[in-house]
Amino acid sequence: MPAYRSAPAGKSDLPVVLVISEIFGVHEYIADITRRLAQQGYMAIAPELMLRQGDPSSYADMGKLIAEVVSKVPDAQVMDDLDACVAWAASQGGNVSKLGITGFCWGGRITWLYAAHNPKVKAGVAWYGRLNGPVSALNPRHAIDLAGQLKAPVLGLYGSADTGIPMDAVEKMQAALATGNEAAKRSSIHVYANAPHAFHADYRPSYREAEAKDGWQKMLQWFNTLK
């Protein structure tokens, strides 16, 4: 499984952050996220989690990409592949006792799931990740189903103008966190008024500079527990 890794030169025992891409895979925007995190002192790893089903970079049509690749990626496969990334990071001198995860869109959903999967995770930041949806063999549970099983607190960053994630889903997730376990109660969701989906994606028309910068600072503060 290919992955893009960034880390400060000549340093070891670094806290590790997994960076989970949107449906488009690990392109330049995601690679840049890892470099920005490396500049903050992290070993940041962005794995190509969909490549077993197909190459997202080979698709120009989003609907076709979702139908032929994204919809065929099992959650269990993703969890196993992320576990492999953590093991690899440990073999390369990363400090996986200080493990964080962040993801965008599709990767935001995976962030919630992995924070409920791996007890090594200490903090997660989910950028506009889907919270609920249809249940299937490939996607047996969603974030709202796992709110009470989180192993680490997650910060959710959402926009009130996101047409794909309605505010009632966000409110239900907030209620589920409030009645969940300790990690759930320590979790938080911040909603940016009038921000659309993908407001952090600086290569897309949805980009909102103020919200993106504020969310980035909130993420860094959330990850301070890893330092």
Q: Please report the pLDDT score of residue 57 as a whole number.
A: 95
162 is catalytic: yes
Choose the catalytic residue: 85, 117, 162, 200.
Answer: 162
- Rounded Cα distance, 19 and 157, in Å: 15
Q: Please report the pLDDT score of residue 58 as a whole number.
A: 95
Cβ neighbors of 76 (< 8 A, separation 6 or more) are none
- Rounded Cα distance, 197 and 166, in Å: 11
Q: Please report the pLDDT score of residue 129 as a whole number.
A: 97
Q: Please report the pLDDT score of residue 140 as a whole number.
A: 98
The CATH label, of 3.40.50.300, 3.40.190.10, 3.40.50.1820, 3.30.450.20, for the domain at 3-226 is 3.40.50.1820
Query: Phi and psi of 163, rounded to 5°?
Result: -75, -15
Per the prediction, the chain carries an average pLDDT of 97
For residue 96, give the 3-state DSSP assignment. strand
Choose the catalytic residue: 85, 117, 142, 197.
Answer: 197
Q: Is the pLDDT of residue 109 over 90?
A: yes
Choose the catalytic residue: 105, 117, 142, 200.
Answer: 105
81 is catalytic: no
Q: What's the half-sphere exposure (Cβ side, CA atoms, 13 Å) at 187?
A: 37
Q: Is the pLDDT of residue 226 over 90?
A: yes
> What is the mean predicted confidence (pLDDT) over 107-119?
98
Q: What percent of the chain has pLDDT over 70?
A: 100
Q: Please report the pLDDT score of residue 81 as a whole number.
A: 98
Give the pLDDT confidence of 144-173 residue by residue, as tens digits: 999 999 999 999 999 999 999 999 999 999
Q: What are the E-state strand segments in 59-187?
A: 94-104, 121-127, 154-159
Q: Is the pLDDT of residue 137 over 90?
A: yes
Domain boundaries, the chain: 3-226
- Rounded Cα distance, 69 and 78, in Å: 13
- Rounded Cα distance, 38 and 132, in Å: 32
Helical (H) or strand (E) element with 213: helix 209-222
Q: Calculate ∠ Cα 28-7-78, nearest 5°.
A: 65
Q: Please report the pLDDT score of residue 171 as a whole number.
A: 98
Give the pLDDT confidence of 2-43 residue by residue, as tens digits: 999 999 999 999 999 999 999 999 999 999 999 999 999 999
Query: Phi and psi of 154, rounded to 5°?
Result: -120, 135
Tokens 């989180």 belong to residue: 150
Q: At what angle do helices 75-91 and 106-117 cross, to 10 degrees?
A: 70
For residue 159, give the 3-state DSSP assignment. strand
197 is catalytic: yes
Residue 101, both tokens:
């995860």
Q: Is the pLDDT of residue 227 over 90?
A: no
Residues counted in the chain: 227
Q: What percent of the chain has pLDDT over 90?
A: 100
